[in-house]
Structure 1
Amino acid sequence: MRKIPAALAVLTLAVVGLTGCSMPGAAECTRPAVPDQDVIDLIAVSGSTDDAPDVDIRTPFHSTEVSFADVVTGEGTPISADDQLVVLDITVFSGETGEPVGSTTYDGALTAVFPVSRWEQTFPSFDQALDCATEGSRVVVALPPGEVEAETAATMGLAEDDSAVAVVDIRKVYLPKADGKNQYNTGQGLPSVVRAPDGRPGIIVPDGAPPTDVVVQTIKKGDGPIVTGDVPVRVHYTGVLWDDHTVFDTTWDGDPASVTLDSVVPGFAQALEGQTVGSQVMVVIPPDQGYGDEEQAGIPADSTLVFVADILGLDPEPAPAQ
């Protein structure tokens, strides 16, 4: 939520796609078995996961199907959704020569944050190879011909009938939605929240006058790091106007937002500060802690705002200005 957000098309509550309240106890993410161990046995991966891998491939290497295996298994957050944000380092090797033909920077910055679906545009099989892989893992992927996007393959010098090998280091995985424990809240006359299976919230605003002070409720309590304001925080959020119950802004139609506490309205900053990653927070923001008495990007003057925010992770501290 930016201080002056770009207003999205107004959505009715029905359009949010509600299916009722989410329930605790979701199934754990289970890593698939290695599809073809014989193919994986032709690839030896070594070296520190902090750096580009050392790879020895029995060449000429050819694979007829995608196969993958975890060289190192991390203990962090699993990849469970195509729209989940991740930071990856990748090196690609020619199946013909065994030599590296392309790689990311391995600079340790953790700033190249993209949804998994963005990587799948280049490596379509990553939807299989990275399914339930965890932060901190190193994954080797055997890529048959056609499993590297054509223009990228040509840039790397891979022929149409060439197989390739990719080694993927999963540096960081953001949560796809709040995964904390449900919390009991009282508060007659306050909005209630329902969630679709993917985590998208629906906000039910009651009839009646809004509160005159900021009200914050923790709906789910995560066990991750605390939001202090020292670094940006990644959030999915939906904002609703109290008066007409319409959605005026949401990130759920795209990527989660990276925000700093000094870049959002005071009421929203108050709701985030001190919360933990994995939490879902509902906040009611009166006009004096929101946009005040002037219309802002389609939000009427003197509006009381209601936000539900899922806290998905913390970003690295920005590099100092040169």
Structure 2
Amino acid sequence: MRKASALIVTAGLLMTALTACASPGTGQASCDTGATSGPASDLVSVTGDFGSAPDVHFPTPLKSSTTQRTEVIAGSGQRVVAGQMVSVELNLYNGTTGAALQVSAFDGSTAMPLALGDTTLPGIVDGLVCAREGGRVAVVIAPEDGIGANDQLGIAATDSLVLVVDIVKAFLPQADGVDQAVANGLPAVVLDANGTPGIVVPSGDLPKDLEVGVLKKGAGDKVQDDSTVIIHYTGVLWEGDTVFESTWPTRSPRLTPLTDLPAGLATAISGQTVGSQLVVVVPPALGYGPDMQGEVPGGSTLVYAVDILGIN
């Protein structure tokens, strides 16, 4: 296997490859269905401490018809679950040629976020679900669970991929705060068994001001105005009670600076704590304004249910 000492592809290119090729509904891994160790993943030799660059060797060509995972360093943190956002350091190799496609520093400076939902390659989801925060795993991804043919990355359709991953941090999968009493008149939020919110817009006059209700009060860090947050959310139109945006159907939380959100939503989240769940009513002036934006008609009042899962 050829070794590499520099970043081979940009993080943006790698993230596009790892997250843009999955089909909806593929990321269904659980502790019962996720990858287990096998003869291919056991052939990946990895030495070095967690948080430092690993020395990786494997025989080539290394191929597998199933995605396999071998634990290299046992983590002591929470188990990773499907639908969760994690921060990882990873090296990526072509299992056929041994070529390094991505080499990270493993010192925190090149950590990247991955949402272990339906927008991420099933081989990644299967390989990381049920590993622990603070752990290192070696994953051999079967071709059908991987990127597919990619000339830019030098991957053929029949190539397995080899990943060595440090799970630096696992963010909350859903809000875990203490239930709070909410003022009358705000939209109701009803959760299903998986924590997915449904929003019931009340009858009555259209609110003219920003309104924020704390449904769950988290015990985590406080969000600052310049924070980059990990959130799950659903947005509906007050008039018509129609969902215009949601992260829940693909089980893929969003990582975003507050400054990229509508002003009213950013204001509502700033100052809240990780683990909290909010219901937010955003008037047009603090939302998308008078012009149509995507599926949002101009002048719309917006209602959001938001889980604050972490600060990156």
TM-score surpassing 0.5? yes
Amino acid at match of 1:103: Q
Q: Give the secondary structure class of the aligned counterpart of 1:245.
A: coil
Q: Deviations over 1:212-237 (max 9, x none)?
A: 54332221233332211232223232
Partner of 1:21: none
Q: Give the secondary structure class of the aligned counterpart of 1:167.
A: strand
Partner of 2:49: 48
TM-score for both structures, normalised by structure 2 = 0.68
Number of aligned residues? 278
Q: Which has the higher contact order (CA 8 A, sep 6+)?
A: 1
Partner of 2:268: 271
The 1:216/1:41 distance shift into structure 2, 3 A limit, reads same
Q: Structure 2: how far apart are the matches of 1:252 and 1:79?
A: 17
Partner of 2:234: 238
**Deviation of the 1:206 alpha carbon:** 1.4
1:220 aligns to 2:216 (yes or no) = yes
The 1:158/1:166 distance shift into structure 2, 3 A limit, reads farther
Q: Deviations over 1:12-41 (max 9, x none)?
A: xxxxxxxxxxxxxxxxx8588994577766
Amino acid at match of 1:170: I
Instruction: Choose the corresponding residue for 1:205, options 201, 207, 230.
Output: 201
Is the 1:60–1:96 contact (alpha carbons within 8 Å) kept by the matching residues of 2?
yes
The 1:246/1:71 distance shift into structure 2, 3 A limit, reads same
**Sequence identity of aligned pairs in percent?**
37
**Deviation of the 1:258 alpha carbon:** 3.9
TM-score for both structures, normalised by structure 1 = 0.66
Instruction: Choose the corresponding residue for 1:285, options 262, 279, 282.
Output: 282
Amino acid at match of 1:181: G
Runs of 5+ consecutive residues of structure 1 not aligned to the other structure: 1-28, 316-322
Instruction: Choose the corresponding residue for 1:309, options 298, 306, 311.
Output: 306
Q: Structure 2: how far apart are the matches of 1:132 and 1:306?
A: 34
The 1:87/1:153 distance shift into structure 2, 3 A limit, reads farther
**Deviation of the 1:192 alpha carbon:** 0.6
Partner of 1:115: 115
Runs of 5+ consecutive residues of structure 2 not aligned to the other structure: 1-29
Is the 1:101–1:156 contact (alpha carbons within 8 Å) kept by the matching residues of 2?
no
Is the 1:32–1:131 contact (alpha carbons within 8 Å) kept by the matching residues of 2?
no
Q: Give the secondary structure class of the aligned counterpart of 2:268.
A: helix
Q: Structure 1: how far apart are the matches of 2:207 and 2:157?
A: 65
Partner of 1:13: none
1:171 aligns to 2:171 (yes or no) = no
